[in-house]
A = this chain, B = another copy of it.
Amino acid sequence: MKEKLIKEIEQILKTDQVLVGEKVKERYCHIWEMDKPLLAKAVFFPKTTQEVSDILAICNKHHQPVVVHGGLTNLVGSTETNPEEVVICMEKMNAIEELDASSRTITVQAGVILESIHQAVEEEDLLFPMTFGAKGSAQIGGVIATNAGGLRVFRYGMTRNLILGLEAVLADGTVISSMKKIIKDNSGYDLKQLFIGSEGTLGVITKAVLRLQQKPKSRNSAFVALNDFDRVVAFLKFMDAGLAGTLSGYELLWEQNFIAMTSPNTDIPKPLPDGYKYYVLLETLGSDYEKDHNRLEELLEEALTEGMVLDATIAQSGQHLELFWKIREDVDVLVSQCNNVQNYDVSLPLGEIGNYVDHVFKELEQMPEVENYFAHGHVADGNIHFLVGKNKSSRELSHRVNTIIYGPIENLAGSVSAEHGIGIDKKPYLNLCRSSEELCLMGTIKYALDPKGILNRNKIFDYSK
């Protein structure tokens, strides 16, 4: 027999907007685990903000926990469910409502795929700079709810910096709408900040106004080799000053990573020889290919002459450049070389990264269960990703690897998550980077906005009144 809650919601939605029973199991929680059936009482597919509001009002009345599903590309379990939860799936709210080239904004519903936004704005010579590997599946609502990072944070900022207007629905169904195209707004509290990056625990994002940038006319990239982390920092500062505002990416690969990505069986030619400790891949987005290329060349020559860097090479064509970026972006190549892989996205003050990674490598080296490990990252933003392969899968072993990687974070005043969020996977380590007073204040905010704790319950932190 159907629950009262489901019946009430069925009255406000059409038949094709509700899944119950066995149909629910045809869906899933993670795009990475599509073979694992979804556990939930029901899945609802609202088509309007009003429907999201009505569904939440009913769920709130019944103390019914709700999980929101976007593109399901989250890496820390934020979209996981249990059989007692219901799912609100945003895929039917997938319209681009307006592209305003004059104000350089795009107005989108939460279910729009990130890549569709890229394509739409490109036709107007504009750019939505947020981009990352899962762009073909990730929905903008999830991108915002998790404050996604990616490859161009150094120049354009995290998702938080790219949102002008936002509409979100609170647990009780109240619609908080501020769909504005304005860049500056100091009229009272900036409420959208509450919903950006809170992983669906404070409200359901339904729409957003995104800020667009002028599309750059030229792109150049170079690979550079160094052996000393202090010089990685010095070279960043040198290039940042020398390239003024055109430097858009400064990615670092540690030696193991570079070797694995350019080994003979990857078909990717080595831009530089093996044997250095660090490889920097940098990118400029400018306005004139020839001039930007020459400027980059001049600066690299100066850095080589002064001994700041040990080797350097510039991509000589668009195709060549794409090969450079495959070395950084084709993370699947690394994943395929790891058994029982664990991945990380720690954040640290830039100056601390060199010693920290040396220390982590040394510790991993001493663990017989660890088969291999790789490190790369958005180093200019202080963000390092690790991949660790192990000879078996066990919670105890995972925890030991976590302890090696997260352990030093507290003393170094870093974060266990630069980009991916906390979800459920990182909850045990949250207290390494947030004080008890901060965690208590998070609870206060959660309770103020969602007193019954129905929204993504027990994600980020455990909910208790």
Contacts and interface: CB of A to CB of B under 8 A. Distances in A.
Interface of A: 100, 102-105, 125, 146-147, 149, 153, 155, 157-158, 160-161, 170, 174-191, 193-194, 196-198, 202, 213-217, 230, 233, 237, 240-248, 285-287, 291-292, 295, 347-352, 378, 381-383, 413-422, 426, 430, 433-435, 437-442, 444-445, 447-449, 460-461
A454 to B, nearest CB: 16
A76 to B, nearest CB: 9
13 contacts: A100-B349, A103-B351, A147-B186, A153-B184, A158-B184, A160-B190, A161-B161, A177-B438, A184-B415, A184-B418, A185-B417, A188-B461, A191-B441
A246 B155 CA distance: 12
A189 B447 CA distance: 13
Given A157-B157, A437-B174, A381 B184 contact: yes
A401 to B, nearest CB: 19
A186 B417 contact: yes
Contacts of A197: 186, 189-190
Contacts of A187: 415-417, 421-422, 426, 430, 433-434
Contacts of A460: 188-189
A175 B244 contact: no
A382 B100 contact: no
B178 A435 contact: yes
A422 B188 CA distance: 7
Given A237-B214, A245-B285, A437-B174, A149 B351 contact: no
Given A177-B437, A244-B286, A445-B448, A102 B191 contact: no
Contacts of A194: 189, 193, 445
Contacts of A147: 186, 190
Contacts of A447: 448
Nearest to A104: B350
B241 A418 contact: no
Contact of A348 (B158, B182, B196, B248): B182
A181 B287 contact: no
B193 A198 contact: no
Contacts of A347: 182-185
B102 A418 contact: no
Contacts of A287: 241-244
A190 B188 contact: no
A210 to B, nearest CB: 13
A231 to B, nearest CB: 12
Contacts of A125: 241
Given A100-B351, A184-B382, A189-B194, 17 more contacts: A125-B241, A160-B190, A177-B437, A181-B349, A182-B382, A182-B414, A184-B415, A186-B420, A187-B421, A187-B422, A189-B202, A193-B193, A214-B241, A216-B241, A245-B247, A245-B248, A445-B445
